[in-house]
Structure 1
Amino acid sequence: MSSEYFHFLNIMGAAFFAVSGTLMGHEKNINGFGIVVVASMTALGGGTVRDLLLNTTIFWVASPDYLYATYGAIITTVLFIRYLPSISNYYFLLVDAIGLAIFNIVGIEKALIEGTSMLVAITMGMTTGIFGGLMRDVICREVPLVMRGDLYATACLSGGLVYAVLFAVDVSYVWCVVGAIATTVLLRFGALHWGWRPNLFKKGRIL
């Protein structure tokens, strides 16, 4: 993937997760500075953990663009909430699903750029996508989405596997990205709208 594509996806992922963190903070009646902390951790936490594990420069330290995107998304969302104070929790879940899908790809690409195997890259994609939201939910005293019964980590993993398959058959990078993002978002929407659940275990046996 070109550096421009990668940078754009990273910016978008940070912005979407900043929005989801702001919405969660609003729902929990957290004060202004607290919302900035929660939203920033949501937007930057997963990528920070990934970069520490990869022993590379933390992405938002290397480029302030990610901080601009994060703070810009926070301010925009706060203004949006001011005029629509009864905003539904559905929008939080929608934005979170898109942020999850984008950061999953960003994590995979960042790991591959650093020379890891595809298996490690898929794991780093899940780390990037999940950890920011995990931190957000823990701080807000919520059961983390990844630990609830719906498709979250599974959606991330499925998107990574789709990326790996398309990459292996030499499909263009753009379609690898589109396929992976579409898979992750579709599975999250399925969980939200139709109650899809990962039934790995049922009645004491593996299915």
Structure 2
Amino acid sequence: MQDLWHWFDLVGVAVFAISGTLIAHSKHMDGFGVIVLATVTGIGGGTVRDIILDTPVFWLRDPSYFIAIFTAIALSIYVLNRQRNMPAQLLQIADAFGLAFFAVMGMQKAVLLGMPNTTVVIMGVLTGCFGGVIRDVLAREIPLLLKGELYAITCIAGGIVYTQALSFDLGMTVAMWSAMATTLCMRLAAMRWNWVIHVFRYPEGHQSS
């Protein structure tokens, strides 16, 4: 089971690294910029999580995470150089998959450290969202976390599903897959049907920048 969790972690890092590479491509960054953006997107959220939880940072003694990042970068560059036009929603779809994978792995680590349910959900949100926040800030974009369709809310929903599945003794595997599916489906649905939470009234025709 530990190997399965590790592979989930690697997949999450790789998918987020792809989203970092895609936004670097859209911003016409050079090779070093691509590496920086992909790397901080891939490991940023997990790094913040581990620092807060006062546990060894996950990538310090495991080079497989950087292998996953560089593999994702290489594949993304190859595809982007062959396909001149990048689909408009490709970045958000890649980000949605990374969000789901990483949110679950953040929850998983908090549970293994014996954290209460509230902390488990918060760690899921941090792990899933913070790499993307760093990526967007470096790319001089308003982070997806702060605008547009549901984002962090999907991680919270996934966290509730995860903690409740564990409380009903459905098993770790069921909890992980259920939370991942909930987070991913909610995020994709929010993108498809423009689900947002409005708290301010704006004039008709107003668009946030």
Q: TM-score, normalised by structure 2?
A: 0.93
Residue of structure 1 in register with 2:205 after alignment: none
| Preserved contact between residue 46 and residue 130 of structure 1 (Cα < 8 Å) | yes
- What corresponds to 2:31 in structure 1? 32
Task: Show the counterpart of 2:168.
Answer: 169
User: Could you list the per-position Cα deviations for residues 62-114 of structure 1 after superposition, in whole angstroms to 9, with x for gaps in the alignment?
Assistant: 21111110111011111111101211131111110000001000000111112
Mapped to 2, the partners of 1:3 and 1:24 lie a distance apart of 32
**2:110 alignment counterpart:** 111
Structure 2 counterpart SS, 1:149: coil
The Cα shift of 1:149 comes to 3.2
Runs of 4+ in 1 over 2 A off after TM superposition: none
Residue 183 in structure 1 maps to residue 179 in structure 2: no
Structure 1 range deviating more: 183-192 or 14-23? 183-192
Percent of paired sites with the same residue = 37
The answer to whether the Cα contact below 8 Å between 1:154 and 1:198 also exists between their aligned partners in 2 is no
Structure 1 CA distance for aligned equivalents of residues 167 and 200 of structure 2: 33
CA distance in 2, matches of 1:189, 1:7: 25
Equivalent-residue separation in structure 2 for 1:158 and 1:85 (angstroms): 37
Compute the TM-score of the two structures, normalised by the length of structure 1.
0.94
Whether 2:82 is the aligned partner of 1:76: answer no
Gaps of 5+ in 1: none
Distance, in Å, in 2 between the alignment partners of 1:119 and 1:26 is: 37
Alignment of 1:99-138 (within 5 A): 99-138=98-137
State the secondary structure of the residue aligned to 1:165. Answer: helix
Where does residue 160 of structure 1 map in the other structure?
159
Amino acid at match of 2:4: Y
- Once the two structures are superposed, the pairs formed by residues 26-65 of structure 1 within 5 Å of their partners are 26-65=25-64
Specify the alignment match of 1:19 in structure 2: 18
Q: 3-state SS of the aligned residue for 2:89? A: helix
The Cα offsets for residues 24-67 of structure 1, whole Å up to 9 and x where unpaired, read as 00001111110100010000100000111111111111211111
Paired letter, 1:24: I
Q: Which residue of 2 aligns with 1:145?
A: 144
Q: Is the 8 A contact 1:26 1:35 kept in 2?
A: yes
Structure 2 Cα separation of the partners of residues 10 and 56 of structure 1: 16
Amino acid at match of 1:13: G
Cα distance in 1 for partners of 2:91, 2:31 equals 18
Whether contact under 8 Å (1:17, 1:43) holds in the other structure is: yes
Superposition deviation, residue 202 in structure 1: 6.8
